Amino acid sequence: MSVTSVFPQLERLLPRISKPIQYVGGELGAVIKDWDSVTVRWALSYPDAYEVGLPNQGVQILYEVLNEQPDVLAERTYAVWPDLEALMRAEGVPQFTVEAHRPVTAFDLFGISFATELGYTNMLTMLDLAGIPLESRDRDDRHPIVVAGGHAAFNPEPIADFIDAAVLGDGEEAVLEITAIVREWKGEGSPGGRDELLLRLARTESVYVPRFYDVDYLPDGRIQRVVPNRADVPFRVHKRTTMDLDAWPYPKRPLVPLAETVHERYAVEIFRGCTRGCRFCQAGMITRPVRERSITTVGQMVKEGLEFSGFHEVGLLSLSSADHSEIGDMCSGLAQQYEGTNVSLSLPSTRVDAFNVTLAQELARNGRRTGLTFAPEGGSERIRKVINKMVTEEDLIRTVVTAYSNGWRAVKLYFMCGLPTETDEDVLQIAKLAHEVIRAGREATGSRDIRCTVSIGGFVPKPHTPFQWAKMETPEVIDHRLRALKNAINSDRNLGKAIGYRYHDGQPSLIEGLLSRGDRRVGAVIRRVWEQGGRFDGWSEHFSYQRWVDAASAVLPGYGVDLDWFTVRERDQNEVLPWDHLDSGLDKDWLWQDWQDSVTGFEQDDCRWTPCFDCGVCPSQDTEIQIGPTGKKLLPLTPVGSGLRVPQTVHQHG
Amino acid sequence: MAKRQPEGGQDPVVQRIRLRYAKRGPMRFTSHRDFARAFERALLRANVPIAYSQGFTPHPKVSYASAAPTGVASEAEYLEIGLRAVVDPDDLRAALDAALSPGLDVIEAVQSPLNGGGSLADRIDASAWHLELPGITPASAEAAVRAFLAAGEVLVERLTKQGKRVFDTRAAVVRLELLEASSALGDVPSGVAEAPCAILDLVVRQGTPTVRPDDVLSGLRVVADLEPPVPPRATRLAQGVLTAQGEFVDPLAADRPAAVVGASSLV
């Protein structure tokens, strides 16, 4: 049965809304295949506005991996803004994909990548506009299998009622395996319907199907146990790890939008994983071990990615890019290749280290200097030991002064507020640090024309980290500390005027905390917030703290718990955590020990350079650290000359 | 202390080329800024030896003539680029056309003198538009057109960046005529295929503020309560200098080699 485009209906709405181009498609790299020529069809989504969702690397990679399969098609869909949502409801236009404007409900699978929990309400809007029942149990064979992925899928319990399945970890191989199961099941004539298909997925032990697990609670509200309710369904579901990134050089044909988006660049992941061991960092914990992409693959990807996309900027991404074993050669090689081309190269600098300045200096060779950002995260040396961010005050000042001396006139410094054991004094130390940075910078450069921006956000404890047991601070305490810090920065007017101050107040963090460490009971809160109009919770102009508080107080007391119980309550060692049946590879005893070590300020080294400290990931997942150096160098590119290039046809049709 | 001047300079402009391009179908929803970004990327994709401005943040040498509003299709948009190496204009047209998304189509490229010869803007003082009004009968459209042309002044209101602005639309309109239904361009939006669809031919002289097709439609609403049930579709067909006879002088005509190449036109 073929499926028709909803574009004619949509087109009549586009002149009446803002930024219509975001709903039109037409990106370079987009693929439109004949619906009837394929067996398995995926709709992929990043549940935010197009301008945020399009650049998402995860979706772009899976999009390309899936579309390379001859009998598979993948299209993309994003959250529509409220102006279009209202018109779609009024005119009966369903949630659509941007390539061929096909209705999402016609696809076999609807994959949603959650980088943040604040996208949950947008997922409900998409499901509802698609005509897919909000809850998994109300769906039947006519509806797509809704699959969640991304970092938030490491605790999908708050959305367990709304999704059919979740995949933990890297998606490249997982989407192909899911596709193979769906292909085979359809080939057999879809025996046993939806239930049988979900059962087959669950039996792989790497796809979590929430409906096959029952959660029992203790009288005090804590979880008693989570157990499978079907035969052959595993007690624990394991995360996926893609080994050998050189074998997966995606994106090769990045999506290049016509609409303006938040990142307009070709991004290459130079490695995945991080073992720096920052205790607040969920990304660093759940993506272990470190797997580097080799310098030659990176060079090849940059060359082809730029030629294909026409982007003028390249981002060398990872959780801590300066840690790549060949980052020096990579930066100087790329800088040499693109010297004089007006292509700019950038490194998200988060490590506080003068080496980062050297690298940025190298990348700025052709005159395009990108911003420098350092993330000491904690204001005092004591709190930095608690979070395992091994940076001394001297390190930080020396690094920033090096940046000023090398021509940067402004740097950004990132911090967190509300960390475990934190006191007002720890936060006030940030002001002292910033003053010292400006003072030393002025002295070293002889100029008053230098600035720094202090950016600070609320700490949110995340599952699968040593801080998963920690209590959050209340928004009142956070906001008090943020105000005190502002006053402290401005207490010295002379230095304070060279310091910019940006902060995120405590309320959104508390809700993020509820969603991060919530269990299935939180699903009712999400649904109620959405019913009361909650949309785009990651956007401060759309987020309503009151709406979340009201929904939590309407729903949670029925279960004998409340918002505070999920957020500002510290958990003890024996508590069954909602995500304990989801295996990130990290040994829970190791996490607990690291949590204990943090309180005493014991620092944990990086296993890339010191012996293994038994976090548990490699043996349990059968993975290993993959790092260089390979000893190879980037060869100079053949001079392009002045010949015009007629690019290949931009749209692939299957 | 930091070097406050960029090292070296950019290569000089050795060739100037003017392009005519179209925004078609769904690509009419690109804003001018969207097109400009896509065009800069197309220059890189096609390996065009574009020249850059001097300074800390060099910009590619691209200048645009009056761009059609977002949501309006066009067969006649113009821009000029400066190159640091000489290329064949026809090869350039083909390479850039391939480098842009389908629907953003480069129609013609001609070399223009490096110095003198006047700017593109000097060669454009009027614009021809084709307006399709699905759901409007030719008879009611004709009555509205008559009322509009009979009026000495038709004031309309538009929200601009400077706030609400009231201005006359009548004076700028050189021609406004009802065309035969058979002159529709491409597909009529589906769902209205059976419905009537009035088609208007509109010529507007440039001024301040520029009177756009939607302003003229507002004018028709003011004079005759003409209210299309679905959004009308507008397409710009030509820009240029309007002669006393009401003919358009193509802005590229003066630069075009004697033997006309590659020009295709709907006008």
Q: What is the pLDDT of residue B257?
A: 78
User: Count of CB atoms within 10 A of residue A438's CB?
Assistant: 22
ipTM: 0.91
Asked, for residue A48, whether it belongs to a domain, the answer is yes
Distance from CA of B49 to the nearest CA of A (A): 6
* Nearest CA among B128, B89, B110 for reference residue B253: B110
Q: Would you call B37 an interface residue with chain A, using a CB distance cutoff of 8 Å?
A: yes
CA distances from A489 to A326, A376, A432, A443 (A): 39, 17, 8, 19
In the block, residue with structure tokens 């940067």: A408
CA distances from A475 to A386, A420, A459, A509, B107 (A): 21, 14, 11, 8, 59
pLDDT at B190 over 90: no
Same fold, B15-119 and B124-248: yes
Q: Would you call B231 an interface residue with chain A, using a CB distance cutoff of 8 Å?
A: yes
Give the start-to-end residue ranges of the domains of chain B. Answer: 15-119, 124-248
- Within 82-101 of B, beta carbons closer than 8 Å to A belong to 85, 87, 91-92, 94-95, 98-99, 101
| Coil/strand/helix, residue A293 | coil
For B87, phi then psi, to 5°, come to: -130, 165
Query: Measured between beta carbons, which residues in chain A are less than 8 angstroms from residue B2?
Result: 406-409, 445
Mean pLDDT by 10 residues, chain A (654 residues): 89 95 96 97 98 97 98 98 98 98 98 97 98 98 97 97 98 98 98 98 97 98 97 96 97 96 95 96 97 97 95 94 94 91 83 85 79 92 95 93 92 96 97 97 95 96 98 97 97 96 94 98 98 97 97 97 98 98 97 96 92 94 94 76 74 48
In the block, residue with structure tokens 């602005």: B165
Residue of A310, A445, A642 lying closest to B85 (CB–CB): A642
In whole angstroms, what is the distance from residue B107 CA to residue B117 CA?
A: 22
* Residues B235 and B73: beta-carbon distance below 8 Å: yes
Q: What is the pLDDT of residue A640?
A: 56
In whole angstroms, what is the distance from residue B113 CA to residue B15 CA?
A: 8
Residue of A406, A409, A645 lying closest to B46 (CB–CB): A645
Rama region for B143: left / alpha / beta (φ>0; ψ in -120 to 50; rest): alpha
In the block, residue with structure tokens 């309007």: B242
Q: What is the CA A479 to chain-centroid distance, rounded?
A: 26
CB contact under 8 A, B101 and A409: no
The total domain count for chain A is 1
Q: Do β-strands B73-83 and B62-64 pair in parallel, antiparallel, or remain unpaired?
A: antiparallel
Q: What is the pLDDT of residue B264?
A: 45
CB contact under 8 A, B1 and A307: no
CB contact under 8 A, A407 and B87: no
In whole angstroms, what is the distance from residue A479 CA to residue A463 CA?
A: 24
Q: What is the pLDDT of residue B56?
A: 74
**Residue from A16, A96, A442, A646 whose CB has the most chain B CBs within 10 Å, to mutate:** A646
In whole angstroms, what is the distance from residue A516 CA to residue A152 CA?
A: 7
| Coil/strand/helix, residue A5 | coil
Q: What is the mean pLDDT of residues B39-50?
A: 95
Tokens of A235: 């007690």
The residues near B150 (Cβ < 8 Å, ≥ 6 apart) are: none
**Residue from A21, A54, A344 whose CB has the most chain B CBs within 10 Å, to mutate:** A21
Query: Measured between beta carbons, which residues in chain B are less than 8 angstroms from residue A12?
Result: 189, 191, 230-231
CB contact under 8 A, A21 and B37: no
CA dihedral sign of residues A227, A228, A229, A232: negative
β strands within chain B, DSSP E:
15-23, 62-64, 73-83, 104-112, 126-134, 155-160, 163-168, 173-179, 197-205, 233-242, 248-249
In whole angstroms, what is the distance from residue B143 CA to residue A565 CA?
A: 70
Q: What is the pLDDT of residue A259?
A: 96
In whole angstroms, what is the distance from residue A594 CA to residue A420 CA?
A: 13
Q: What is the pLDDT of residue A342?
A: 82
In whole angstroms, what is the distance from residue A353 CA to residue A403 CA?
A: 10
Tokens of A177: 């395996």
Give me the DSSP letters along B10-77: PPPP-EEEEEEEEE-GGGGG--HHHHHHHHHHHHHHTT--B-B-SSSS--B-EEE-SPPPTT-EEEEE
Asked, for residue A261, whether it belongs to a domain, the answer is no
Tokens of B209: 């503020």
* Residues B126 and B148: beta-carbon distance below 8 Å: no
The residues near B217 (Cβ < 8 Å, ≥ 6 apart) are: B131, B133, B226, B228, B232
C-alpha neighbours within 13 Å on the C-beta side of residue B52: 17
CATH of segment(s) B124-248: 3.30.70
- Which residues are paired to B242 by β-bridges? B248
Nearest residue on chain A to B234, alpha-carbon basis: A15
Query: Measured between beta carbons, which residues in chain A are less than 8 angstroms from residue B191?
Result: 8-9, 12
CB contact under 8 A, A21 and B31: yes
In whole angstroms, what is the distance from residue A406 CA to residue A396 CA?
A: 16
Q: Would you call B135 an interface residue with chain A, using a CB distance cutoff of 8 Å?
A: no
* CATH number, domain with residue A185: 3.40.50.280
Distance from CA of B245 to the nearest CA of A (A): 35
* Nearest CA among A153, A175, A184 for reference residue A74: A175
CA distances from A247 to A287, A291, B219 (A): 18, 12, 62
Nearest residue on chain A to B91, alpha-carbon basis: A644
CA dihedral sign of residues A484, A485, A488, A492: negative
CB contact under 8 A, A21 and B42: no
CATH of segment(s) B15-119: 3.30.70.580
Q: What is the CA B231 to chain-centroid distance, rounded?
A: 19
Residue of A8, A24, A407 lying closest to B29 (CB–CB): A24
pLDDT at B5 over 70: no
In whole angstroms, what is the distance from residue A273 CA to residue B112 CA?
A: 54
CA dihedral B154→B159→B165→B170, nearest 10 degrees, is -20
In whole angstroms, what is the distance from residue A164 CA to residue A110 CA?
A: 10
Query: Measured between beta carbons, which residues in chain A are less than 8 angstroms from residue B34?
Result: 21, 258-260
Tokens of B75: 């067969």
In whole angstroms, what is the distance from residue B255 CA to residue B114 CA?
A: 11
| Coil/strand/helix, residue A252 | coil
Q: What is the mean pLDDT of residues B210-220?
A: 94
Q: What is the pLDDT of residue B66?
A: 83
Q: Would you call B53 an interface residue with chain A, using a CB distance cutoff of 8 Å?
A: no
Q: Which structural domain range is residue A145 located in?
A: 7-217
DSSP state of A472: P
DSSP state of B81: E
Nearest residue on chain B to A309, alpha-carbon basis: B45
Residue of A307, A310, A408 lying closest to B42 (CB–CB): A310
In whole angstroms, what is the distance from residue A609 CA to residue B125 CA?
A: 70
User: Count of CB atoms within 10 A of residue B259's CB?
Assistant: 5
Binned at pLDDT 50, 70 and 90, residue B163 comes out as confident
Residue of B58, B102, B190 lying closest to A342 (CB–CB): B58
* Residues B134 and B192: beta-carbon distance below 8 Å: yes
% of residues, chain B, pLDDT over 90 = 71
* Residues A268 and A302: beta-carbon distance below 8 Å: yes
- Which residues are paired to A237 by β-bridges? A582
Q: What is the pLDDT of residues A336-350, one digit of tens each?
A: 999 888 888 998 867
Distance from CA of A61 to the nearest CA of B (A): 21
Asked, for residue A84, whether it belongs to a domain, the answer is yes
CB contact under 8 A, B52 and A642: no
The residues near A184 (Cβ < 8 Å, ≥ 6 apart) are: none
- Which residues are paired to A226 by β-bridges? A215
Tokens of A478: 């956070």
* Residues A371 and A412: beta-carbon distance below 8 Å: yes
Tokens of A396: 């930080």
Query: Measured between beta carbons, which residues in chain A are less than 8 angstroms from residue B49?
Result: 642
* Residue A505 exposed, middle or buried by CB count within 10 Å (0-12, 13-18, 19+): middle
Q: What is the pLDDT of residue B256?
A: 87
Query: Measured between beta carbons, which residues in chain B are less than 8 angstroms from residue A97?
Result: none
- Which residues are paired to B60 by β-bridges? B52
Q: Would you call B112 an interface residue with chain A, using a CB distance cutoff of 8 Å?
A: no
* Nearest CA among A321, A330, A418 for reference residue A378: A418
Asked, for residue A118, whether it belongs to a domain, the answer is yes
Asked, for residue A299, whether it belongs to a domain, the answer is no
Q: Would you call B191 an interface residue with chain A, using a CB distance cutoff of 8 Å?
A: yes
**Residue from A5, A7, A10, A12 whose CB has the most chain B CBs within 10 Å, to mutate:** A12
CB contact under 8 A, B231 and A309: no
Distance from CA of B230 to the nearest CA of A (A): 6
* Residues A512 and A460: beta-carbon distance below 8 Å: yes
Asked, for residue A58, whether it belongs to a domain, the answer is yes
CB contact under 8 A, A14 and B29: yes
In whole angstroms, what is the distance from residue A279 CA to residue A588 CA?
A: 14
